[in-house]
Amino acid sequence: MKKKAVLALGGNAILKAGQKGTIDEQFANTRESVQGIIDLINHDYQLAVTHGNGPQVGNLLIQQLAGMSMGIAPLPLSVLNAATEGTMGYMISQCIENGLHEKGMSNQVVTVISQVLIDREDPSFSNPTKPVGPFYSQEEADDLRGKYGWNIVEDSGRGYRQIVPSPLPTDILQGHIVKELVEDDALVIACGGGGIPVYYNNKGLLQGADAVIDKDFASALLAKIIEADLLMILTGVDKVSINFGQPDQKKIDKLSIDQAKQYLEAGHFPPGSMGPKIRAAISFLQDGGREVIITSVEQIENALEGKSGTSIRP
């Protein structure tokens, strides 16, 4: 039987820092990223791809503000998450399909708009911490608080940003459909931006939540549901490091769960960067996963061959 993998692609791989964010730039970046995805198929993996959406949903929030000044009603964050699942799923799927065609391969590629179940009583709803969207001046922040009731805080001296809840995912409603498609050799794009956060209301009906689910936690949950052997998390560095940014920085080739926990507790993996990736890795491995690889999109092939990346195993 073929092995199964979930590959978590960062939103910044599609819209890079310093770029204007034109659709031409995003397509060009996506085309660069898909070669590594095809490498996984060549290593006999059946594959699901997840992706971040931070820069993209941030741009949609800016567009919302511009529209509100013209009297257009804003869309809730759950709907904006759904929108990026569609637009980014279209870009990624088309680039993969073209890449497969160039290699003489014929795998079907499909994007699944994914609703991800959360607990409406998750502590993050009473203590939102996830920054989204652009930076504002203090005057703009005060105006937005008054008009829309947004939670806006000062962010590291760089200005003011809206903060929203980031609840943990508890289930993926389309997860078993994704599993069936993957096992049928389709390449599935799912849980974009962490998926659309939804919960069951008092009537037992699904309802969207104004929140953002961490993409790495959603990817780990999807990997568990489809019974993947490998979770590959792509980021901006080739390997995980301890003492990052310090003179004694050290790159790590291999970690056990216990070592990963020790470094996490010692503060080597901050909450805003490597921390969620390490926590997601630990969660997946504790749920029966065999391996997590953390590396950059450029190093996928080398990481699969053990020449790059950080491998975390039970």
In angstroms, the CA 161 to CA 131 distance is 6
Q: Which residue ranges of the chain lie beneath pLDDT 70?
A: 156
Residue 128's region, left for phi above 0, alpha for psi from -120 to 50, else beta, is: beta
Residue 196 in contact with residue 114, Cβ under 8 Å?
yes
The whole model's pTM is what? 0.93
pLDDT tens track for 67-94: 988 999 889 999 999 999 999 999 999 9
Q: Contacts from 155-162 at CB under 8 Å and sequence distance 24+?
A: 155/131, 159/135, 160/135, 160/136, 161/131, 161/132, 161/133, 161/134, 161/135, 161/136, 162/61, 162/131, 162/132, 162/133
For residue 69, the model assigns a pLDDT of 84
| CA–CA dist 118, 206 (Å, integer) | 11
- Is 3-9+11-35+47-115+172-228's fold the same as 232-314's? yes
Task: Tell the CATH topology of 232-314.
Answer: Carbamate kinase (3.40.1160)
Phi, psi for residue 168 in degrees, rounded to 5 = -75, 140
Q: Tokens representing 249?
A: 């920085």
Report the alpha-carbon distance of residue 164 to residue 181 in Å, rounded. Answer: 33
CATH fold, domain 3-9+11-35+47-115+172-228, is Carbamate kinase (3.40.1160)
Q: What is the pLDDT of residue 68?
A: 85
Query: Which helix (DSSP H) or strand (DSSP E) does residue 136 occupy?
Result: strand 130-136
Domain ranges, ordered by start, for the chain: 3-9+11-35+47-115+172-228, 232-314
Res 217: pLDDT? 97
For residues 167 and 130, give the distance between their C-alpha atoms in angstroms, rounded to a whole number: 10
Cα–chain center distance at 59:
16
pLDDT at 4: 97
Q: How many CB atoms lie within 10 A of CB 74?
A: 14
Whole-number pLDDT of residue 225: 98
Catalytic positions are 11-12, 130, 215, 277
Of 216, 192, 191, the closest CA to residue 281 belongs to 216
